[in-house]
Chains A and B, each alone.
Chain A
Amino acid sequence: MNQWITLLNKEFLEMARNYKWIWVPLTFILLGVMDPLTTYYMPQIIDSVGGLPEGAVIDIPEPSAKEVFIMSLGEYQTIGILIIVLSMMGTIAGERKSGVAQLILVKPVSYISYITSKWTAALTLVVISLFLGFLASWYYTGVLFEFIPFGSFMAAFGLYALWIALVLTLVVFTSATLKHPGAAGMVTLVTVFVFNMLGSYFSHLLEWSPTKLLPYASEMLVSDKWPEHAWPATGMASILIILVLALTVIIFKRKELAD
């Protein structure tokens, strides 16, 4: 346990030294407020770039607060995931590639602690950042459009955060099993993309699929009701997270760390 805390503290210290504690939350906040602001000020923005050509009619129906907030979810689903994957893909692969892992793993360090401490640190940063981003989006949407019930907001956050946790677990997995950080990032992004494709293609069959967590979060916001299949999906996502983490440790143990 002491060793796990030591490893975790090192991760947190590193995130402070490379400013991740500053830029990741701030970026996520920007992602959150982007859509409420641009949507609200769209007419002025169009005006300021010269307005519409003569005869064109502005016929953009004012979107609802819920629609705007769901647009923000879309930003995290694309840019947010991209940032998470790119900034975390080196967490283990980078240490092996540089060679510093040789110094650490030759100490009596438990492989489980090594992997889970990194996972915990990354998850802490990402979940806090995501929450701040969500909160900012919720507030801006509320001020500019209409406040969404906080309960629905929190439920949607919980559902989506679980999906992000699964993506993050995948990054840790690829980072532990592939030697090159870039390869780890690429494989994670492709995997997430393919699963999302499959998930939406077979969406009527895969009600419990973790890829449905984003649609369920949106549904939660629209209807203010906990979606029917949200529990199986969260259960599935939690099981997958644990399985992937376990697999990460097993493979990492066998993997030869020297070269």
Chain B
Amino acid sequence: MIALLVRDLRLTFRAGGGFGLGLAFFLIVTVLVPFGVGPESALLARIAPGILWVGALLACLLSLDRIFQLDFEDGSLDILATAPIPMEGAVAMKALAHWLTTGLPLTLAAPLFGGLMSLPGQGYLWVFLTLLIGTPALSMIGTFGAALTVGLKRGGLLLSLLVLPLYIPTLLFGAETARRAIQGVDYAQTFAILAGVTAGSLALLPFAAAAAIRINLR
């Protein structure tokens, strides 16, 4: 399974692998929003956590359809399905590879890009922390969506439609936690729910995604 992770990481970093696409998109969003809403820094500071979260979520969405589609087209998925590693494990590794190449860079970049949005002082820490806890759920839910739509022609649109509603709890509680922490209000509850959504997705979705792939390979 480690071999699968290493291969996926290697493929992403090689030419044409798509690493940096999400990051560039995230940068564009955070650069453009201040132009769109105007230079008033009090307003920007108020919407900064939400914009950073929405930007990260959409950036995550960009690379989802690559998770299984390429492996499906070149026949690797058939071979993986007959290989001795369990499909659930393969799916979890795919999600981990997606997080390492998309979610983690976005999380690390968010505090940097926060400067463009006049993010308040303690906001840097909290946007970083909530993204760190929340983005694994985005990758796992996205992997599940990709598993459902693998093999469909033009499945990318369907994938986005399927995944976006599932992303809402993470977005809601992630951005809300950051906002509450910045305002100095009690954030323990929303933070716990954010972590709960991530833990639940990581525990359950590999099984659902593996089942979806088995059906799609028929």
Chain A bound to chain B:
no
Binding site for B on A (CB under 8 A): none
